[in-house]
Amino acid sequence: MVMPAKRDLLYISPVIPALTGNGLAMRAGMALEALAERYRVHLLVVPIYASVTPAIPEPLAKLCFRTAMVSPRPQPRGRHWSDFRFDVVHVFRLAMLPFAKPYLRGFFRRAQRHLDLDDIESITLARLAALYRQNGDSARADRTEREAARMESLENEAFRSFDRVYVCSATDQRKLAGRTRADVRVLPNAVRMPAAVPAPAGGGVFTFLFVGTLGYYPNEDGARYLCAEIVPRIRELAGGDFVVNIAGTGASESLRQAVNVQQVRFLGRVADLHPYYSLADAVVAPLRAGGGTRIKILEAFSYQRPVVATSIAMEGIEARAEEHVLIGDSPEAFAQQCARLMADGGLRERLAENAVALVQGSYTPRSLGLGML
């Protein structure tokens, strides 16, 4: 039986797809794997965001018919590949629209237009503006509110011209109800299950782990909030010694000073998170703004580590409080949940077992591929 030839798809990404690293690069890599099962993929990277690798990882590059990287400045006036009439143009994030326009024109036939929002940026920016204002930075709050309004206008324009829109959760799918006639599909974030998951060492200093790209303001704020508001309260409640490891790239000098407190270790950028998940007894995600779904929470679940998070950090992940995760939306409540985990090994085991089962059932590359059917 002769299999039909795959259709040609142009995938335009603002970040080098990766197998691991920050959440944006991981989503790009997972989407590439899923797309390659159904299409002959031409990958065009316009790196406007910091990438975790200098080049496309070989396993991902092999999935593509061809790849190219172009400088975001100056913006290309024409098409990088002029010899193809693509069947599908898949645009990752709104920031790529200026680079996608040459490929979205009709020519001899109109390509199907797919847009992966990753998160609804107008909503995320509005939340970010509110966080700036809460932290006393009115100037940045005003600028971010204007950017949120601009992004909402761009979204509405895109919704009129794209045939399919991907979002990362059913929560975001509901938020778009009434804003577009496009086919809105859930393309969940996903993680690969680690090859081996060591059991927590136990018996020593209880270790919490915070992971995030620290140049991203919600993560920076989360780290500051953790150290200033939550760690002192854990210290008051805890029945034993503990330490908090903070890992991530892009920390400012101001943030480094802010996290330089008792019982907190700033790790900065680490080449491999596996050893730090191995050391961790629990993972914390005290975020107060953001959008999409947090891949790093799914990653913690995959390592069978219990998680304490805010409601906004868990948004879009189909996890239930007390079954898969502990929720704390005030410094007092967050610290209390951390203290509960320190005192109750049975609770840690139950949360970890339920969380890894959730990931295996709904947040693996197989799940992501199904969203593209």
Q: Which pLDDT score is estimated for 197?
A: 81
| pLDDT confidence of residue 350 | 98
pTM: 0.87
User: Could you give the C-alpha distances from 12 to 7, 101, 156, 362, in angstroms and in order?
Assistant: 16, 11, 20, 26
108 confidence band (pLDDT: 50, 70, 90) = very low
Half-sphere exposure of 213 (CA within 13 A, CB side): 17
- What is the per-residue pLDDT for 84? 78
pLDDT digits (tens, 9 = 90+) for 132-191: 999 999 999 999 999 999 999 999 999 999 999 999 999 999 999 889 999 999 999 888
Every domain of the chain and the residues it spans:
7-189+364-370, 206-362
What percent of the chain is predicted at pLDDT more than 70?
Answer: 93
Reported as a single tens digit per residue, the pLDDT across 304-330 is: 999 999 999 999 999 999 999 999 999
Digit-coded pLDDT (tens) for 19-68: 877 788 989 998 999 899 999 999 999 999 877 678 899 999 999 999 99
Confidence band of 104 (pLDDT split at 50, 70, 90) = confident
Give pLDDT, residue 103.
86
* Higher per-residue confidence, 183 vs 84: 183
Average pLDDT, the chain: 90
206-362 CATH, one of 3.10.20.590, 3.40.5.50, 3.40.50.2000, 3.40.1390.10: 3.40.50.2000
Residue 258: pLDDT above 60?
Answer: yes
pLDDT digits (tens, 9 = 90+) for 227-257: 999 999 999 999 889 999 999 999 999 999 9
CATH of 7-189+364-370 among 2.60.40, 3.40.50, 1.10.1740, 1.10.10: 3.40.50
Asked if the domains 7-189+364-370 and 206-362 are classified in one and the same CATH topology, the answer is yes
